[in-house]
Structure 1
Amino acid sequence: MPKDELDLRLLDDFQRDLPLEPRPFAAMAERLDSGEAEVIARLRRLRDAGRITRVGATCRPNTAGASTLAALQVPTDRIDEVAALVGAEPGVNHSYLREDDWNLWLVATAPDAAALADCLARIEAASGLRVLSLPLVRAFNIDLGFPLEGPRRCMALDRPADMAALRPGDRALMQALSEGLALEPRPFAALARDLRRDEAEVIARIAALAEARLLTRVGVIVRHRALGWRENAMVVWRLPEDRIEAAGTALAGLPGVTLCYQRRIVPGVWDWPLFCMIHARSRDEAMAVLDRARDLPELAGTAHKILFSTRCFRQRGAIITETATRKEKAA
C-alpha cells in the first residue's frame, strides 16, 4: 500500500489491541500487507516527527499510582513563566492553556498520594498561585483511542478496574509501558531483559492488566494536534449528584465525545463535577458535537461552559514509580 496509507492504518488501526505476541510488529505488518522492518521504520519516523508519543500503554488513573487534574489562575503576562515552572515538575505529564479564568491546566501523576501532594505544593510555592486539585471520582469513558478517519463514533462505556489483578512487579511494567516499547522486532523481549523477567511472563501480565482495565489501552499513542485534530475542548457541567450518573452515561455514548468523567468539586470555587472532552478538527465541528450534547434529555437546561485549549506545553506518559521520578529529575 502507499506509504501515506500505511501511516494512516498504523495510526488508526492500532491505537488499541497491539498484538501481544513476541513479534507484534510482524503481526501488524501481516494485517497491513507490509513488512515488519517497514512497519518499525514507519513507527520510528512517526515518533520522531512528533505524530505519536510512543507504542506502549496508557495507565488507568489512581490504580498503580496517584493522579489528579489541576488548574491555576495565571495572569496573562506570567503564562510562559508559570508554564515552565509547572513543566519542570517530573510528575506533570500533561499541561495546557485553556480559555477560562482557571487557564493553566495540568495532569499530575506520582507513585502515591503523598508524593502527588508534594508535587502540587512545590508548584504552589514556586508560582505563588493556588493550585486547584480536582481528583477523579468516576470514569464514564477514559479511552481516547478514537478513529482518526471516517464518521464520528461513540466510545465504549468504561468498566471498573479490577484492583485484585495487580501483582508484585506490575508497577514497574506499567511504568515501562507508559514510557514506550522499543521499536525493534522483539520489544517484549527487550522489556523483559530490562525488568529481569521472562518474555512470555511479560506478555501475559500485559494481557492481564489490560483485561483488568489497569491499562486502558495498549497500542500506538498518537498526538492528536499533530495529526490535524487541533481543537481540544473541555466542557464542564454543573448538575446535582443524583443526575451525574445518567448524564455521564449519556455523554459517553455521544459520537464526538472522546472522554467523560466526574471529578471532585470545590464548593464556591469549582462547582462543575461532570467533565467531557471533545477533540475536533475545527471549532465548528467541536461546537456541533456540543450542540448535540446540549440536546440530550439528561442534560436539558444544565449550566455548562466550554474551555478550548489554545496551547499545549507538555504531553508524555505518567509517572508511576519512584525510579521513574528520579530518572525524570536527572534528565
Structure 2
Amino acid sequence: MPRKLCLPAGVGDIGLRLLNDWQRDFPLESRPFARIAAAVGMAESDVIDAYGELRTKGVVSRIGAVFAPRRLGASALAAMAVPPSRLEAVAARVSAEAAINHNYQREHRYNLWFVVTASSAERLQQVVAGLERDTGCAVIVLPLEEEFHIDLGFDLREPAGEGACNSPAGRRRERASIVLDGDAACALPAIERELVTALQGGLALEARPFESLGKKVGLSEAMTLEFIARWVCEGLIRRFGVVVRHHELGMEANAMCVWDVPEQDVSALGRSLAREHAVTLCYRRRRALPDWPYNLFCMIHGSAREDVLAARADLAQRLGLDAYPSATLFSCRRFKQTGAHYLSPGALAHA
C-alpha cells in the first residue's frame, strides 16, 4: 500500500533525496555536507540551508545518532491510565521531564504512553516515582527484553509493500535478534560520555560539524570522527543520519500493535514480524501483570487509519498472530518527540 507523502512546498526530487538517502550512512568525514552536495549536484552551502529549512518546518528532527536501546543507560516504555479530564495537565508534567523523549496519547484505557531514558536503572526509577508522586497516576514500566527491528529509518520513495526495502533508507539488514539483560549498559570512559552528551542533540548545520562537536568536549575533529565511527561499527549507534518526523511527511496514522504470546514462541514470531515491510519497529517487552499482559510489540505507520488496519490484519493472518490475545492502540496526539537523552552534564558530573 503506498505511503502518501506530504512534502513541504518547494521540496522536489533533490529535497526528497536529502530526506531519504542519508537517513543512515551519513558521511563521517570532515565536510559531510560537501560530500552530499557532490552527490546531488548542489553547492555545499545550499545543502546546509536546505536541511536548515527542513528542520525549521519540522520535517527533520535532527541529523545525528540513533543510539541502540539500553547500551548507554536505562530506558523503558511506560504508560498511565489518566482520567480524560486531566490528560493535558498530566501530559504536560510528563513532557516537562528531561528524561522523557516521546510522549503520546493512544486509544486505550492506558492512554498516555512515553519513553523514559536515564543514565541508570536507579535514575529511571526516580523519574517514574516523581511522575507518580506529582500526578497521582500509577505508571506501568515495560523494559525492552529483545529487539527484532528498531531503526526508525523511513523509506520515502517506495510503497510500504513489495520493494520497500530496496532504497538506502528502507533496506532491512538481516541480523539476529538481540536479547537484552539488566547489565547491558556500556561503561564508557569519561571523555566518550562527554562526547555522547554533546552528540545527543544532533549535529550543527555548518560546513565542519564534527569539528564544532569535538570542540565542545576538548577533542580534535579527527578523534571525534574516530569515536563516532567506532560506535557505529560496535553497534552503540544504531544508525547515524537524518532523523525525519513521519507525521509531517504524511504518515499521519500509526498504531502500536501488541500480542500476548507464550514465551516459547515470541522470539520466532518477533523475527518473522520484523521482516514485514509494513512494520517500522518490532520488539519484545516485559509484561506488567495483571494490567498489561502483552509482550510482543510492533509499530505500523501509514497515511490513513484504514491502511494501517489493513496491513495489521494481513500480517496477523499470515503469521498466525490472530491466535493470541491482542490490542491495537492508535496514536491520537503527540505531546513530545525528541531524541533520547541518556546522559546529561549534571549526570556526568556525578558519574
Normalising by the smaller structure, the TM-score range is over 0.9
Deviation at 1:177, TM superposition (A): 2.4
- Name the CA distance, whole Å, in 1 between partners of 2:288 and 2:49: 48
Q: Does 1:89 align with 2:97?
A: yes
Is 1:176 matched with 2:195?
A: no
Counterpart for residue 156 of structure 1: 173
Which of 91, 107, 112 is the aligned partner of 1:104?
A: 112
1:199 paired residue number: 221
Aligned AA for 1:232? N
The one-letter code matched in structure 2 to 1:222 is: V
Aligned residues between the structures: 326
Structure 2 match to 1:329: none
* Cα distance in 2 between the residues matched to 1:307 and 1:128: 23
In structure 2, what is the equivalent of residue 7 of structure 1? Answer: 15
Whole-angstrom distance in 2 between the partners of 1:204 and 1:298: 46
What SS does structure 2 have at the residue aligned with 1:134? Answer: strand
- The question of whether the paired residues in 1 share the 8 Å contact of 2:195 and 2:214 is answered with no
> Aligned in 2, Cα 1:324/1:280: closer, same or farther, shift over 3 Å?
farther
Number of the residue aligned with 1:266: 288
Deviation digits for residues 126-167 of structure 1 (CA, Å, limit 9, x no counterpart): 100001100000100110102022122353345549977955
Report 1:296-307 matches (<5 A). 296-307=318-329
**Conserved in 1, the CA contact under 8 Å of 2:197 and 2:344?**
no
- Residue 236 of structure 1 pairs with residue 270 of structure 2: no
User: Equivalents in 2 of 1:323, 1:245: separation in Å?
Assistant: 37
Contact 2:74 2:185 (C-alpha < 8 Å) held by counterparts: no
Q: Could you tell me which residue of structure 1 aligns to residue 127 of structure 2?
A: 119
3-state SS, counterpart of residue 261 of structure 1: strand
The structure 2 residue matched to 1:17, chosen from 11, 19, 25, is 25
- Distance in 1 (alpha carbons) for counterparts of 2:196 and 2:296: 28
Q: How does 1:211-250 map onto structure 2 within 5 Å?
A: 211-250=233-272
Q: What is the match of residue 138 of structure 2? A: 130
More displaced stretch, 64-73 vs 168-177: 168-177
- Please tell me whether the aligned partners of residues 59 and 174 of structure 1 are also in contact (alpha carbons under 8 angstroms): no
> Which structure has more helix as a fraction of its residues?
1
Would you say the 8 A contact 1:124–1:131 is kept in 2? yes
> In the alignment, does 2:61 pair up with 1:53?
yes
Cα distance in 2 for partners of 1:178, 1:143 equals: 16
Structure 2, unaligned runs of 5 or more: 1-9, 166-171
Q: Report the TM-score when normalising by structure 2.
A: 0.88
Residue number in structure 2 paired with 1:27: 35
Gaps of 5+ in 1: 327-331
Q: 1:309 aligns with which of 331, 334, 346?
A: 331
What is the TM-score with the length of structure 1 in the denominator?
Answer: 0.93
Matches of 2:38 and 2:226 in 1, distance apart? 22
